[in-house]
Structure 1
């Protein structure tokens, strides 16, 4: 099993330069790794057997393939899993008798679960993929050398001068596009979280509301209630009618009881994913509100920068950021996440000194 998910460990390795913030990483990278791991587990017959197993002895492969393709069914109007002497029996309560076609609920999602998880992994990765392209290695160019030359003071000073020259140059339009691209990816994260909740609710038929009650029952230690609710979403066994042409040419109908082994795993995987998706939706929504606050409240931007600058004198920081646009502020904040706090404060002090020299310079002196 470890061999199956081992490639994901390389995907989650920390980079020397972080182009995503923590919430972006959780939403677009950790979620993708989690979904792919679930996909590998559900598609591995070595550990969990065939996805469907029917009781018919003759032509077993044909019967199982038929029920897998055309779908097994449960009784749609049942409100509680049947029990005998306090033990939950095979759901639905159709063993030994037929179910009218109008009362059947076919388990059509069963063969699509792996594909849906795989599709979700691609969708959740989309913002990270787009940002990696649009970012274009800018932060790596600005910050990577500080990690490589940390033991060399001379090289570190040289790289610091490169940063000072970069931020004293006019890149306002470039930085604005950089910021807009990142915000667009954050908006995508919010939309993907909401869309994912709607998709799973439609796919499983009221999944979110049912599983809220199931998780409450699990938290309370009521395993009977947990089994009752999860068996309505992920039944462990179902019936299947197979139509087959007899020797005389007439149709014959064979009634089968089939086990759905993967639903034992599905109910636990989606219990965890329920909590994870709710958490991700809440985090990206809060992050988007934070982003709106930084856009419309300049004082908040200044205080955030001052905290990163180890509270250097307020007047010095104000002068250092005098010509700093919103895009410049955003790139400076991204740089501060990838270099040491002492080096970042030195960068701001160098920007302050450069700005102070410019203000003392007489008009037209730079044209001489």
Structure 2
């Protein structure tokens, strides 16, 4: 019952809280929400002795007490013999268990030590998958929340004064206008800070992709090079229940152990033991599921990074791309001239920050903010100027004037200097 209570404690982490501001994408959430919960659930499952009994049970002769040989074999590891994985001998009934039989000095053996470390490795992996999200939360600093707070119910703003219905605060039209003006000023006066925000987000998304690859490599080392092809071997194996199951090599159910002790005369006596690895039936399921999950996570993370870099190359080259992206998140149509003004006045980091503002604001409110930002940027020759006196900031880039060309459309812009 204790394990079930722990599993129930993990379920809140699986819930997607729609009241919190969105500061990352779905692929990012798969890392720190789903994967972390999955790994912690596996760890609790492995530790649930009340359901699966002892991790190891060993059978030996009467010369060694059972609890001694079991403790010894658990800490000193067990082994199987490569020669006794011979399929013809197994199918002929000459060997009762894959990898178990008489041992010769020249025999190659496979030592199985991973089962001692599985709970610890799963817990450390869960921490590792959460670290990029923790870093991102610290670097993000709650800026999105600070800007959009109080605008969740902007679509209900019908009165001239703020209202409160229970725990819900409904802003007035005047409050919304002031909030939009405040967000606009924050965006225009802190463009370089906005870029740092976006750079950290992209860095953590790339880190997630590299981290998945690193975790696959670590698990492969942990399972002595058997993890890379584990899922493929399972999919290619169709004779379930047959003794040639490929998982028997990686997760054997019966193994051997040799215990040495001194006899009455002082000579060293060797005691062979057969050990039943009860928990390996759980281990094999865990790592097969992890193989498929990490493959899915790698593909999802790769697509997220590809989309981010595609956005970087497309946001200034295609008007339709910008309209499609902002319409997707805000469900409203944007004036093409406003889109051009914003794109010309922003770098990719600023554009990405606006995209996440759109994901966190009501459609009408963001549309008003977008129009206001576009009009303000149209008035500026130097949109990257953050000085109050209008002096040009060192290293800033001038806004593109005259005619702005896109791959899919060309629209004229009024040159203010003419």
TM-score scaled to structure 1, two decimals?
0.87
Q: Which residue of 2 aligns with 1:51?
A: 55
Q: Which has the larger radius of gyration?
A: 2
- The residue aligned with 1:256 is 273
Match of 1:187 in 2: 206
Is 1:338 the counterpart of 2:360? The answer is yes
Q: 82, 97, 101: which is aligned to 1:90? A: 97
Q: Which moved more, 1:266-275 or 1:83-92?
A: 83-92
Alignment of 1:197-346 (within 5 A): 197-217=216-236, 221-224=238-241, 228-297=245-314, 298-299=316-317, 302-303=322-323, 304-309=325-330, 310-346=332-368
1:88–1:348 CA distance, 2 compared to 1 (3 A): farther
Aligned length: 357
Shift of the 356–194 alpha-carbon distance from structure 1 to 2, 3 Å rule, reads closer
CA-based RMSD of the aligned residues comes to: 2.8
Question: CA–CA distance in 2 between the matches of 1:91 and 1:152?
Answer: 71
Counterpart-to-counterpart distance in 2, 1:193 and 1:13: 23
Task: Say if 2:184 and 2:369, in contact at 8 Å, map to a contact too.
Answer: no
The answer to whether the 8 Å contact 2:81/2:100 transfers is yes
Contact 2:154 2:176 in 1 (8 A): no
| Partner Cα separation in structure 2 for residue 209 and residue 19 of structure 1 | 33
SS class of match (1:174):
helix
Counterparts in 2 of 1:308 and 1:18: CA distance versus 1, 3 Å: closer
Indicate how the Cα distance of structure 1 residues 241 and 159 shifts in structure 2: closer, same or farther if over 3 A, else same: farther
User: Aligned pair in 2 of structure 1 residues 166, 257: CA closer, same or farther (>3 Å)?
Assistant: same
Worse overlay, 23-32 or 145-154: 145-154
2:256 is paired with a residue whose SS is strand
Greater CA drift, 54-63 or 227-236:
54-63
Mapped contact 1:230–1:267 kept (Cα < 8 A): yes
Structure 1 residue 71: Cα displacement? 0.5
List aligned pairs for 1:72-221, cutoff 5 A. Answer: 72-80=78-86, 83-84=90-91, 89-94=96-101, 97-100=102-105, 102-147=107-152, 151-153=156-158, 155=171, 157=173, 158-159=175-176, 161-168=178-185, 169-217=188-236, 221=238
- Partner of 1:299: helix, strand, or coil? coil
In structure 1, the residue matched to 2:409 is none
SS at match of 1:240: strand
Which blocks of at least 5 consecutive residues in structure 1 are unaligned? 360-365
Partner of 1:128, secondary structure, is: helix
Runs of 5+ consecutive residues of structure 2 not aligned to the other structure: 160-170, 382-387, 390-418
**TM-score normalized by the length of structure 2:** 0.77
Higher helix content, 1 or 2: 1
How many Å apart are 1:237 and its aligned residue? 1.0
Residue 230 of structure 1 and its aligned partner are, at CA, apart by 0.4
**Higher RCO, 1 vs 2 (CA within 8 Å, ≥6 residues apart):** 1
